Amino acid sequence: MPTELIRDCPNCGNPMHKVQTATHYGLPIVLDQCHQCGGLWFDSTEFIEVKRGEAATIENIDRTKLLQNVATRSTMYCPKDRTLLEVFKDPNFPSSIQIERCTSCGGLWFNHGEYTAYQGQTSPANRVPEKSDADRRFEGQVEAALRLEGAGFSQAMGMLGTLGQFLSSPVKSGYYLPSRTADLRRARQVDMIANVVVGLLSLFLRRK
């Protein structure tokens, strides 16, 4: 196996350690963490891939082992390509934290405790949306589709056509953040569609 690249902390200059955690789908993801100042470095979109609630575990470092009086540098450089880090401003982030971002590679630097604050923010824009009436109606259609035991194959194909039209409908473009309500709702609907397709294919195979 290739040796993992050891990067220096943008804040205090010490070598960072590799820490493994889990994504939203339970897959492993490796991050860079400084055990001297406690900061975390995320390559590109890694910060939105980490499963919600994992931040508190990652940042649960014994404070007595952290370097005393480690101040946040006013000037920091990307540990990946040495580009000057700039303050990243976004309304989806708590106003109490200040994130630094690399304009070259898109990486983000969180000082100790800031990632926990990010994941734990209570902004309504970052909550998983409640099911709407449209969502509930859609789920009802999904359940009906999965009970097509007595239906003909043409009816099943009609349902698949309807689902195909839904999947081909345009999605609003824009920088993705997990707080986007429309993205979360669509992801939930796509999950249900996948279950419908599997169910219909199973029905078709039983009728062959």
Which pLDDT belongs to residue 99?
A: 92
Contacting residues for 74 by C-beta, under 8 A, at least 6 apart: none
Give bridge partners of residue 18 from the DSSP assignment.
32
How far is it, in rounded angstroms, from Cα 154 to Cα 105?
A: 50
How far is it, in rounded angstroms, from Cα 16 to Cα 184?
A: 33
3-state helix, strand, coil in the chain (%, to 5): 40, 15, 45
- Judge contact between 27 and 2, C-beta under 8 A: no
Question: For residue range 64-89, what is the model confidence (pLDDT) as tens digits?
Answer: 666 555 667 789 999 999 999 999 98
What 11-16 contacts at long range (C-beta under 8 Å, 24+ apart), as own/partner pairs, is 11/37, 11/39, 11/70, 11/72, 11/73, 11/76, 11/109, 11/111, 12/36, 12/37, 12/39, 12/67, 12/70, 12/73, 16/41, 16/79
Q: Which of 205, 185, 201 is nearest to 146 (CA)?
A: 201
Q: Which residues of the chain have pLDDT under 50?
A: 1-2, 122-125, 171-181
Which pLDDT belongs to residue 178?
A: 44
Which pLDDT belongs to residue 179?
A: 45
Amino acid at 203: L
Which pLDDT belongs to residue 138?
A: 74
